[in-house]
A and B are shown apart, each in its own frame.
Chain A
């Protein structure tokens, strides 16, 4: 820290824990077992950051450590003491640099909220703190602030599970009920940020296309039943959930691929011929690849491929590849 400070032990009863304006910590008080265990064994090691204020001290950094110390009935804690005359902007700089680890999404958002509530303009915030926070535009700043509209449990989850801002923003425009439902799904199946981003984006797009809400879509897909089904492992459940949503987002594509897979199963070759296709149906036609180890095999493969039965089946596959829409699908 570049500001004058002194390290000293401060009696807990002189710390005003009610003034939390500059505190980024809003988690469950004393819910941090690791920290509690460590403090039980060795006391508070990392000093708090306090500011002198009317013969008492307000917490700038270290609210959680303060609560743990109080729970453990410690009488004093080590703390850096900042002078009373520091400006609010200087205090923000202290918070930024005194933080023991990189800010999480929620901490960044809360930090920005403090800056905004101190009356700083977006350009000013970007100029002063943007380089340290990786924020270079008012839009990005707004995006971080919008995270604070999430429910506390959702915000805490995305902050501690490595969601990127882009992934976290996919929860935007969802109702609290929808956020909770999706959070439950995420926690139960331990979805990572990328998976969740795809799932939510697809759910939103399905809902818009079908003129329903995301909540209605989730219910209509019976995703809860899958979560509660004891027959499946967690990874099977993850796979099923993804598959159900994909099928709803891409009904014709899924159906055509399924038909092709079925036809492929019925297409048996005695020689090692493989039939494949682009699952997006975009590359031209089917691929037939074969592996031979002896030139004599060529004749056998040629005979097999040109036999009436195989030609009919492959033609049918091609027909489905290009024309496999049902009447309903093509009619909108």
Chain B
């Protein structure tokens, strides 16, 4: 991950003496620290730029629910029933296509420090779903590891899930911040996954993230340590050399990684709402990704036309399958007929996809 500096820390005055706050502040050098009182809010930052808010950290308490279902997308596309833990909100990385720009707007990086509440809520939640194999992760509204150095959150989650064999926890990242994970005992239900794209895409669109080599090296180290791995080819991006570059990427991946240690691989093509398109055009004027031939999909988001998605997925899926024949592959927010064309079958519904996933994991992990 590229150098990155937090410039300002806002601390909710209710947690001024919280030990985790002390830890976090001691690990941030040179940032301005400001106490915020409960009735004050962070709306004075609403006029700020993304560049400013991405360097501002807000430490506070979450008084609502931490655990939620992944919102997925509109009807017409299949979703996998993933669960998310929102312990952190927003991401210091700066990918041009990131949906959080639109979903959250220019918001500071928020870290909720009431991990005790999270723990008890999560225990209740998992207890209620004890018969199920759930996949749950922190990488939906944040990068799971980008801010790990501040509070050792990965250690917290790994230990929380260590006794929960039927519930699979996923750290999803574009960084190589694995120092904490390397010192954790890898449970059979902990997956560390990386979002992957060819080098030119990473260099042009995924600002501040770790390079492909760094990500693959980190994955290799954790594989050696005994962790399960996951990979997300999402968003797949169309550009002139995509075919060769994705092929090379997959070759590269499996030259580092033992496919038998990969628990899942997902595919999803670039998609974004109109509001995000405008943000990308304004914030990343050199990016060309929004100018390809795209239509408004059934969920209102811009997507590549289906024949192009089919062509891209087929090529990438084939390359993956040749090297990892047993890995569970799935599409994120894709339509049943695309599944059918690529994989030769389609789940009949999102619930069916979730069930297929559970069955696969039960067999694979022997739960």
Q: B296 within 8 Å of A by Cβ?
A: yes
Residues of B67-89 contacting chain A, CB below 8 A: 76
Complex CA gap A300/B136 in Å reads 54
Contact B243 A331 (CB under 8 A): yes
A137 to chain B, nearest CB (A): 9
Contact B295 A253 (CB under 8 A): yes
Q: A176 within 8 Å of B by Cβ?
A: no
- For chain A, give the interface size range: 20 to 34
Per-residue 0/1 for B292-326: is the Cβ within 8 Å of any A Cβ (1 yes, 0 no)? 11011110000101111011100000000000000
CB-CB under 8 A for A322 and B306, given A208-B288, A283-B298, A332-B238: yes
Residues of A within 8 A of B312 (CB): 330
Complex CA gap A249/B239 in Å reads 16
Residues of A within 8 A of B311 (CB): 323, 325, 330
Residues of B within 8 A of A285 (CB): 337
Contact B336 A280 (CB under 8 A): no
Per-residue 0/1 for B15-43: is the Cβ within 8 Å of any A Cβ (1 yes, 0 no)? 00000000000000000000000000000
Contact A325 B288 (CB under 8 A): no
Residues of A219-249 contacting chain B, CB below 8 A: 249
Interface size of B in residues (CB-CB distance below 8 Å): 27
Complex CA gap A280/B291 in Å reads 16
Residues of A within 8 A of B295 (CB): 250, 253, 280-282
A-B contact count (CB 8 A): 68
Q: B360 within 8 Å of A by Cβ?
A: no
Q: A205 within 8 Å of B by Cβ?
A: yes
Q: A193 within 8 Å of B by Cβ?
A: no
Complex CA gap A330/B306 in Å reads 11
Complex CA gap A252/B293 in Å reads 8
Residues of A55-95 contacting chain B, CB below 8 A: none
Q: A41 within 8 Å of B by Cβ?
A: no
B46 to chain A, nearest CB (A): 11
Residues of B130-180 contacting chain A, CB below 8 A: none
Contact B241 A332 (CB under 8 A): yes
Contact A253 B335 (CB under 8 A): no
Complex CA gap A298/B27 in Å reads 76
B158 to chain A, nearest CB (A): 41
Picked from A281, A283, A284, A332, the residue with its CB within 8 Å of the CB of B305 is: A281
Residues of A within 8 A of B288 (CB): 208-209
Q: A109 within 8 Å of B by Cβ?
A: no
Q: A251 within 8 Å of B by Cβ?
A: yes
Could you tell me the dominant secondary structure of chain B's interface residues?
Answer: mixed
Residues of A253-306 contacting chain B, CB below 8 A: 253, 256, 280-285
Q: A329 within 8 Å of B by Cβ?
A: yes
Contact B239 A332 (CB under 8 A): yes
Residues of A within 8 A of B341 (CB): 322-323
A280 to chain B, nearest CB (A): 4
Complex CA gap A282/B73 in Å reads 15
- Nearest residue, chain B, Cβ from A210: B291
Contact A252 B308 (CB under 8 A): yes
Contact B291 A208 (CB under 8 A): yes
B162 to chain A, nearest CB (A): 43
Contact B336 A284 (CB under 8 A): yes
Contact A209 B307 (CB under 8 A): no
Q: B242 within 8 Å of A by Cβ?
A: yes
Contact A325 B291 (CB under 8 A): no
Picked from A205, A208, A281, A284, the residue with its CB within 8 Å of the CB of B307 is: A281
Q: B348 within 8 Å of A by Cβ?
A: no
Known: A252-B308, A331-B240. 10 other contacts (CB 8 A): A208-B288, A249-B293, A250-B305, A281-B306, A282-B298, A284-B337, A321-B307, A330-B311, A330-B312, A332-B238
28 A/B residue pairs, CB under 8 Å, sorted by A: A205-B291, A208-B288, A209-B291, A209-B292, A249-B293, A250-B295, A252-B305, A253-B305, A256-B307, A281-B305, A281-B306, A282-B76, A282-B295, A282-B297, A282-B303, A283-B76, A284-B336, A284-B337, A322-B306, A323-B307, A324-B307, A325-B311, A330-B307, A330-B312, A331-B240, A332-B238, A332-B242, A332-B243
